[in-house]
Chain A
Amino acid sequence: MSAVAETPLMRSLAIQLRVVHALLLREIITRYGRHGLGVLWVILEPVLFTLGVAALWYMLKFHTVSNIPIVAFAITGYSSVLMWRNTTSRCAMAIRANRPLLYHRNVRPFDVYISRIVLEWVGATASLTLLTVFFIGIEAMRMPRDILPVIGGWMLLAWFSLGLALIIGVLSEISETVERTWPILTYILFPLSGAVFMVHWLPQTAQDAVLWLPMVHGVEMIRHGYFGDLVPTYESPIYFATCNLVMTLIGLWMVREISNRRS
């Protein structure tokens, strides 16, 4: 609609920031209320999840299977899963739940998605950081050998979760099949996503297959940073970034379509 195109870019950007900020605060209050720990749950939720899984893996004696430190392995693996799993599950059906808000002209479906995605980014990032600092503090974990691949891998993973969340968000809105099967698909993707294995442990054919999944590259990259040369990693940041770019473009196009078509 040309009414949108005629607004200068900087003004549009200011409006968008305002709207996303409003949606963010609204989302936090709706989800966590203002009683008890309130907004702290944004971080606590993923922390507790990750801790639980790490403890479970520890008790199952995963650490005797390989020379990889199990705490760092669990934290990097599960944080990565949380990142793309939570963003997508929060974006699924987000528009239907927020349809009344779209009565305000400046609130667009993209704003609803991005505010939810940002909230999950913040939660997952804070959780990973807190857990890492804590376990280094009590000496259950060593400092990451190289912080750059960690940050790079994490950011690429965030980008991946953005593209995926937009696509699944729109698909869940227009297809009941996707809405119902996506949670199932998440469960299947979880063990394949690189969270519970290092690519190096797999036989050649399995390696080739699993490296088609973009998020595997993110987890490998992050672990490359954490473990250094302890185990060879197989990430291709170029492949990961390319997948992310394609997914983001598809996602943005889909969001635009649903914005124009919505009734």
Chain B
Amino acid sequence: MLELNGIHKRYRTRRGWHTVLDGVSMTVHKGERVGILGCNGAGKSTLIRIISGAESPTDGVVRRSMSVSWPLAFTGAFQLHLTGLDNLKFVCRVYGVDHKPLIPYVQEFTELGEYLNEPVLSYSHGMMTRLAFALSMAIEFDCFLIDEAMVVGDVRFHERSHYELLHKRKERGFILVSHDPNVIKLYCTSAYVLNGGKLHPFPSVDQAYEYYNAIMQN
């Protein structure tokens, strides 16, 4: 289970404090597929970073009694001067997993070929995205955190990543944040809307969709 209790996040700016999250609470059970809708700047990425533990909340408590991934397909988590393989080794060491059995899978999914042994800085954006996705899939988590804005690729990548996440890992849960209600509708079983620093729960994805459309109209 994953529990957020009264999460506040404020950033210090030159003009004083800027509140991004203003008392967010939620509970996510194992295997649950949660969608969080929010327009640009609503604080979706901040919330994902706090759930992942990459950032601490200003106030409030995060409890994780299941394993939670890092923000998925985040390409920024690479050391550019290291090779793709080095990056795989690093991530595996951090999470205490043997990297050797994972190499074939990463090879296969990323289609990097010889480039797996080249520095990441020589990669195209697409190659980087595939590597980032493969790395997060290589380590098994109970709950994956997906920042939709960060998972951009062509149609083929979309198909393959969706297959990996939604079909091969059926029993896994995830939290997906997006500004696109269609994505949420397609994949999630429960939905929230993040607006004005508050997280609004909805009994069904459709109701969340309606509410979100209503605030988008204003």
Contact with A along B55-70 (1 / 0, CB 8 A): 1110001111000101
A105 touches B53 (CB 8 A): yes
* Interface of A, helix, strand, loop or mixed by DSSP: helix
Tell me whether B11 is interfacial, beta carbon within 8 Å: yes
A1 touches B79 (CB 8 A): no
Residues of A within 8 A of B82 (CB): 26, 29-30
CB-nearest residue of chain A to B87: A26
Out of A21, A107, A263, which one reaches B55, CB within 8 Å? Answer: A263
A2 touches B55 (CB 8 A): no
Out of B57, B77, B90, which one reaches A1, CB within 8 Å? Answer: B57
Report the number of A-B residue pairs with Cβ-Cβ less than 8 Å.
71
A21 touches B93 (CB 8 A): yes
**Which stretch in A45-53, A65-73, A95-103, A209-217 binds the other chain?**
A95-103
Cα-based distance from A260 to B58 in the complex (angstroms): 8
A3 touches B62 (CB 8 A): yes
B52 touches A2 (CB 8 A): no
Out of A22, A30, A104, A262, which one reaches B77, CB within 8 Å? Answer: A104
Residues of A within 8 A of B94 (CB): 18-19, 22, 104, 106-107
- Report the count of interface residues on A (CB-CB < 8 A): 25
Out of B11, B89, B96, which one reaches A263, CB within 8 Å? Answer: B11
A100 touches B56 (CB 8 A): no
B79 touches A26 (CB 8 A): yes
Cα-based distance from A102 to B74 in the complex (angstroms): 12
Tell me whether B91 is interfacial, beta carbon within 8 Å: yes
Cα-based distance from A102 to B86 in the complex (angstroms): 17
B93 touches A30 (CB 8 A): no
B71 touches A2 (CB 8 A): no
CB-nearest residue of chain B to A106: B94
CB-nearest residue of chain A to B52: A105
Tell me whether A186 is interfacial, beta carbon within 8 Å: no
Cα-based distance from A233 to B93 in the complex (angstroms): 46
CB-nearest residue of chain B to A24: B93
Which residues on B are within 8 Å of A, measured CB to CB? 11, 49, 52-57, 61-64, 68, 70-71, 74, 76-79, 81-82, 86, 89-91, 93-96
Which residues on A are within 8 Å of B, measured CB to CB? 1-3, 6, 15, 18-19, 21-22, 25-26, 29-30, 100-107, 259-260, 262-263
- Can you add 9 more A-B contacts, CB < 8 Å, to A6-B63, A259-B56, A263-B11? A18-B93, A18-B94, A26-B86, A100-B78, A101-B79, A102-B54, A103-B49, A104-B54, A105-B70
Question: 29 A–B contact pairs at CB < 8 A?
Answer: A1-B53, A1-B56, A1-B57, A2-B61, A2-B63, A3-B53, A3-B64, A6-B63, A18-B93, A18-B94, A18-B96, A19-B94, A22-B90, A22-B93, A25-B89, A30-B79, A100-B74, A101-B77, A101-B79, A102-B54, A103-B49, A103-B54, A103-B74, A104-B54, A104-B95, A105-B54, A106-B94, A262-B56, A263-B11
